[in-house]
Amino acid sequence: MKMHIVVIGANAAGAKAASKAKRINPHAEVTLVDRGNFISYGACGIPYYVSDTVADVKELMTTPVGVVRDAAFFGKVKGVKVITGTEAVAINREAGTVELLETASARRYTLGYDRLVLATGSTPFFPPLDNSDLEGILTVKSIEDAELLKASAVAGKQACIVGAGLIGLETAEALRQQGLEVTVMEMRDQVLPGVLDAEMAALVEKHLRMNGVKVMTSCRVTRFVGSGRVAGVVADKGEVAAQLVVVAPGVRPNTTLARETGLEIGATGAIAVDSRMRTSDPYIFACGDCCESLNLVTGAKVFVPLGSTANKQGRVAGINAAGGEASFPGILGTSILKVFAVNAGKTGMTETEARACGYEVETVLSPAPDKAHFFPGAKPIALKIVADRKTGRILGLQAVGEGAVDKRLDAAAAAITFKATADQLSQLDLAYAPPYSAAMDNLLVAADILKNKLAGHARGISAREVKRKLDEGDDFILLDVRSPAEHAEVGIEGAKLIPLGMLREKLDSLPRDKEIVTFCKISLRGYEAQKILDGAGFDKTRFLDGGIMMWPYELKRG
């Protein structure tokens, strides 16, 4: 008897599941149902279409060779029947049927299934604010959103982005490149919350401001104003004029269908699934933005909607729905974005997340060029490693900078997946040639610093803690060990200069009863200075993590 597989939702996860199911079981009848008219498109590419980086919206819906992934494509190439403009409104699990509503005609009918895959995706969270129905208030999720946003992106207008997450910042760049004045409002105290820790996020925020984007953090939006069309956004920090508003505070899983049919919903609010992407009903699978994932570090269930995860989960769900055997182990939440000239991303846990989960944490901040420092085109990147102090296990990596951060994140993702320690990470045999990295890659250097910290040889202090000490007038020495020329160009107010090469002969000028915090550009010399002081019997020494390159506050110029 022919197997009938029905997939609800025809974007990344659903399209992948349907295609894979048909390949695994060529004799199965596979039907892909979607309430929209556009299917299998790259929603993550929408900001790049708005900015004209992607010239034609059709490019978001094509294969690498330029064939549009429409119903005809899926029918002829994949052998999958596609029904668009049709919403699944109910599931009868006992009968094995899905009730469908054809949007244009309001016709209702049922479709039988032997296996059902839910790939219902997610919906942008739209906070319940006054006047949210005004024209010009948009989200960024669908092709329809993309076309409307691009049509609204008129140079000279003022735009406000509500939410400083990945999509919010990518959209801010896109609108700025179209000549709009852009303000980003974020209710939490930093940009990219949940992606970066505060000191790394500060580097991204600084770059946003340098490119003309106004950033307002710890800023709660209360309402929109306007008559017919939006004219401004009102927040607890004041009102910002805006003729275009993009609401991007995050998404919520579409679970209505699953809830109404009695499927188990996890603690995250998304559909609960096992490693085979199977729901609490053995004949129904779920994948993509509507379901949970397993965190590979903590073992806890999480909801982290990403296109990469959706494709992998869709493949597993399709294989198992068709009678095969596959499993999805979990995720690290690896994320990356480009905003103007800066690249930023993370894999695994941030320091904030790790501490919240009860880990005793050690961290490293390590800025350096992404290539050999003498090679033309070398650009700075900053890495932050988060590790378990008790075991040395790597818990996470964050990377920000104009250089290549992606390959460091990918290498770290592999290491974290296989539970690598600082020692193991430091010994990775990474590719080296001057056009690609230093002989000791940034990632390996950061791992070596971590090893020194774990062994007690290196003692770092964060920029935030040093700033607190300065502001509160703590009695300590902030020691700049750079050259006089570097010190004269830019420095930290209140720092004392002793170049590293002169430190040994100047030891008698330093008080032995005070804490001494050493620093340089990236704190390589700062660490060497700490070791010189240690060897000379100074017992209250630390170095500034990341040096002056990771100092997020105002610097003294000239």
Pairwise CA distance, residues 294 & 316, whole Å: 14
Which tokens hold the place of 196?
């970066």
48 neighbors 342 (Cβ within 8 angstroms): no
Separation of alpha carbons 100 and 457, rounded Å: 66
State the amino acid at position 429 in one-letter form: D
SS3 (DSSP) at 394: strand
- Catalytic residue flag (residue 44): yes
3-state SS class at 436: coil
CA R_g for the chain: 27
Nearest to 413, CA basis, from 311, 328, 344, 345: 345
CB 397 within 8 A of CB 384: yes
* Residues sharing a CB contact under 8 Å with residue 76, sequence separation 6 or more, in sequence order: none
Give the start-end residues of each E strand in 260-314: 284-286, 293-294, 301-302
The continuous run of DSSP H or E covering 224 comes out as strand 221-227
Cα–Cα distances in angstroms (integers) from residue 140 to residues 46, 83, 332, 509, in the given order: 7, 24, 24, 60
Q: 3-state class of 297 per DSSP?
A: coil
What does the block give as tokens for 421? 């320690």
In angstroms, rounded to a whole number, what is the distance separating the alpha carbons of residues 77 and 132?
A: 42
CA distance 183 to 330: 36
Q: What amino acid is encoded at 304 in this protein?
A: V
Q: Which of 96, 126, 313 is nearest to 224 (CA)?
A: 126
Nearest to 26 by CA among 98, 65, 78: 78
How many CB atoms neighbour CB 376 within 10 A? 8
Tokens for 111?
């479709």
Residue 433 vs residues 168, 173, 358, 377, 410: alpha-carbon distances, Å: 36, 33, 40, 14, 18
CA-closest candidate to residue 14, choices 219, 209, 277, 241: 277
Q: What is the 3-state secondary structure (H, E, C) of 71-118?
A: HHHHHHHHCCEEECCEEEEEEECCCCEEEEEECCCCCEEEEECCEEEE
Rounded-to-10 torsion of CA 410, 412, 418, 420? 160
Helix then strand count (H, E) for the chain reads 15, 32
| Dist CA 188 CA 171 (whole Å) | 18
The 10 Å Cβ neighbour count of residue 23 is: 17
Q: Of 44, 160, 219, 291, which is the active-site residue? A: 44
Which residues are catalytically annotated?
44
